[in-house]
A = this chain, B = another copy of it.
Amino acid sequence: MALHHLLILTRHPDDYRARIEAAGLPDLAIVAASDVADGLARGAHCDLLLGDPTRVKEALPHLSRLVWTQLTWAGVEPMLDPALRRDYVLTNIRGVFGPLMSEYVFGYLLAIERKIVPRLESQRAGRWDATLPGTLQGKTLGLVGVGSIGAHLAATGKHFGMRVHGYTRSSRDCRHVDRYFHGSEKATFARDVDYLVAVLPNTHDTAAIVDAEMFGALPARAVVVNVGRGRTIDEAVLVSALTEGRLAGAVLDVFPEEPLPESSPFWSTPNTYITSHTSAPSFPADIVGVFVENYRRFHRGETLLHRVDFERGY
């Protein structure tokens, strides 16, 4: 059997290496680095690559034997640059982010309903705050995008007694979604939504899909959450809706430019929670699980899981 050579290019390369070695994969030699130049100096002969998009993009032109790249992320945009090669199999991480995204989204939804921040402010002022909390029960979760992450959010929404509506291109296969909307039904979809959660990847079809029409139909009590990609929401419309009180708040983990520039209006829009693209961090244990399963398939000559279609963009 031919020996395969894996180049690991990630932030904690030794952690990944130790976990992969512990899996006892056959016919595999490993080179691991966090610095791309260092990795290439020792691993330019590698046929397999495991890494985050930024490091992978930098290394791609220098790996002449590359046949397969496993990303440690869900997002694949950097790999879609038309100037880059596409003569290899690209797989990303899917499935493991749903539970993490649910923790993020429902952490914020519950913090808002339960008034966690204003109650803490009362407490710090020495005040017994007897205001009643709200509840998610009976409220409507409106998912823009229902892939594997959206499906997990839908299940969590049902667990908390919510109605779940989904706006998708055409899919309607998630059993936790009570009602689907497509195409021109943006306003009908948005009309009853309490929490609009955008979970879309960046493709040419999703740019500013949450637009003036959707915002215009959202009730003023609604909160917008973005855990997909920054460009899927029309930023100018979101900013004015928040500023003018036509929206109750926003929870934003992704932005067109990250880190969020000092000049961004979101630093000062009211009722806005900003986080740093950390809603679903890649934990090595999860990533290595996917890599190990894919390596076994690769080694047996089988189809890999989560293969990216360069044309579709996901």
What residues of chain A have their CB less than 8 Å away from a CB belonging to chain B?
Answer: 99-100, 102-104, 106-108, 110-111, 113-114, 116-117, 119-120, 123, 126, 128-133, 135-137, 155-156, 159-161, 259-260, 262, 267, 273-276, 278, 281, 283
Q: Which residues of the other chain, B, contact A273 by a CB distance below 8 angstroms?
A: 116, 119-120, 123
Q: Which residues of the other chain, B, contact A155 by a CB distance below 8 angstroms?
A: 159
- As for how many copies of this chain the complex holds, the number is 2
Bound state CA distance, A259 and B106, in angstroms? 29
Q: Across the two chains, which residue of chain B brings its CB closest to A133?
A: B278
* Contact between chains at B100 and A135 (CB < 8 Å): yes
Bound state CA distance, A196 and B119, in angstroms? 22
Q: Which residues of the other chain, B, contact A106 by a CB distance below 8 angstroms?
A: 106, 110
The 7 closest A-B pairs by CB, nearest first: A107-B110, A128-B259, A107-B114, A130-B276, A123-B274, A132-B281, A111-B111
Bound state CA distance, A111 and B120, in angstroms? 12
Q: Least Cβ distance of A154 to chain B in Å?
A: 13
Q: Which residues of the other chain, B, contact A133 by a CB distance below 8 angstroms?
A: 103-104, 278, 281
* Contact between chains at A99 and B275 (CB < 8 Å): no
* Contact between chains at A160 and B102 (CB < 8 Å): yes
